């Protein structure tokens, strides 16, 4: 009988999700990578030995099918709810409802659907649910209303679950990163590489995906009686969502 632990990582085709798959595989975990872009998952699987399923995780039917396939091969010890993202920098007064709905689907519904799919087995035999929120889940900033609202909602899923499942063998973990320089987060949000580059301009050392992956794996490898309820991570150059030291 193997003692190898098994994890599912969502949003695994790039950024923090990809880095988490790589870190878990390096530590000997079996990992199933989930994301929409199959071509990226194929490369990741070839490089790390993970398995993968391509799916739109905001679609309930696709989540159900993916979970059935995964659980048919054995139980899952950890789910890393990393899929999400921001769209635009709309003010509340000029909000684009389509963007706000999109952020809610990507961040909140994806986390809800995936958590619900794997919770029954975890409640029976134990397991860990990790929610990748953001410092946006703990505060706000101008132009961030839609993303802030979605991340606050995702954080409340975790906080509520922790109370609803108290006494059961499931750990609920929140990781809330601040400024993380990844290839796609700001690009997807702002729509151009030039605009994305300005987000990190002059910042000495923003966090990178590997920093967050390291923290995720650390929380998952604590003794089973230890729960890391919430971890906020920022680069030293960032004090709040809007107070950032920049070199001139």
12: domain CATH number? 3.40.50.720
pLDDT exceeds 50 at position 87: yes
Is 98 part of a structural domain of the chain?
yes
Is 247 part of a structural domain of the chain?
no
> Is 219:175 a contact under the CB 8 Å cutoff?
yes
Rounded to an integer, what distance in angstroms lies between the CA atom of residue 72 and that of residue 169? 22
Is 78 part of a structural domain of the chain?
yes
Lookup: tokens for 16: 């923090």
Q: What percent of the chain has pLDDT over 90?
A: 91
Domain carrying residue 53 = 6-233
CA dihedral over 46, 51, 54, 56, signed as positive or negative: negative
pLDDT at res. 233? 98
pLDDT exceeds 80 at position 49: yes
CA 154 centroid distance within chain = 10
Mean per-residue pLDDT for 19-46?
A: 98
pLDDT exceeds 50 at position 41: yes
DSSP 8-state secondary structure symbol assigned to residue 137: G
Average pLDDT over the chain reads 96
Is 242 part of a structural domain of the chain?
no
Mean per-residue pLDDT for 57-80?
A: 98
Is 1 part of a structural domain of the chain?
no
CA dihedral over 59, 103, 152, 52, signed as positive or negative: positive
pLDDT at res. 228? 98
Is 180 part of a structural domain of the chain?
yes
Residue 1 — pLDDT band, cuts 50, 70, 90?
very low
Residue 47 — pLDDT band, cuts 50, 70, 90?
very high
Tally of domains within the chain = 1
Is 238 part of a structural domain of the chain?
no
User: Which amino acids are annotated catalytic?
Assistant: 147
> Is 77:59 a contact under the CB 8 Å cutoff?
no
**With 0-12 CB in 10 A as exposed, 13-18 as middle and 19+ as buried, what is 39?**
exposed
pLDDT exceeds 70 at position 2: no
Is 56 part of a structural domain of the chain?
yes
Q: Tens digit of pLDDT for each residue in 143-175?
A: 999 999 999 999 999 999 999 999 999 999 999
């Amino acid at each position: 009988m193997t003692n190898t632990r098994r994890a599912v990582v969502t949003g695994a085709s790039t950024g923090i999700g990809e880095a988490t798959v790589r870190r878990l595989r390096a530590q000997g975990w079996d990992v199933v990578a989930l994301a929409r872009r199959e071509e990226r998952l194929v490369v990741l699987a070839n490089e790390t030995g993970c398995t993968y399923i391509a799916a739109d995780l905001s679609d309930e039917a696709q989540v159900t099918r993916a979970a059935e396939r995964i659980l048919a091969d054995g139980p899952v010890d950890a789910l890393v709810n990393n899929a999400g993202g921001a769209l635009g920098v709309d003010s509340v007064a000029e909000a684009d409802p389509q963007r706000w709905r999109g952020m809610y689907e990507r961040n909140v519904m994806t986390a809800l659907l995936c958590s619900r799919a794997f919770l029954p087995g975890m409640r029976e035999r134990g397991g860990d649910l990790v929610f990748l929120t953001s410092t946006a889940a703990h505060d706000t900033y101008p132009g961030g209303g839609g993303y802030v609202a979605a991340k606050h909602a995702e954080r409340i899923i975790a906080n509520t679950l922790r109370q609803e499942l108290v006494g059961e063998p499931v750990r609920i973990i929140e990781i809330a990163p601040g400024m993380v320089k990844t290839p796609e987060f700001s690009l997807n949000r702002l729509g151009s590489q030039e605009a994305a580059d300005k987000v990190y301009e002059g910042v000495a050392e923003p966090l990178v995906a590997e920093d967050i992956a390291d923290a995720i794996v650390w929380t998952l490898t604590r003794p089973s009686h230890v729960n890391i309820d919430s971890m906020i991570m920022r680069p030293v150059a960032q004090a709040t969502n809007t107070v950032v030291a920049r070199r001139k």
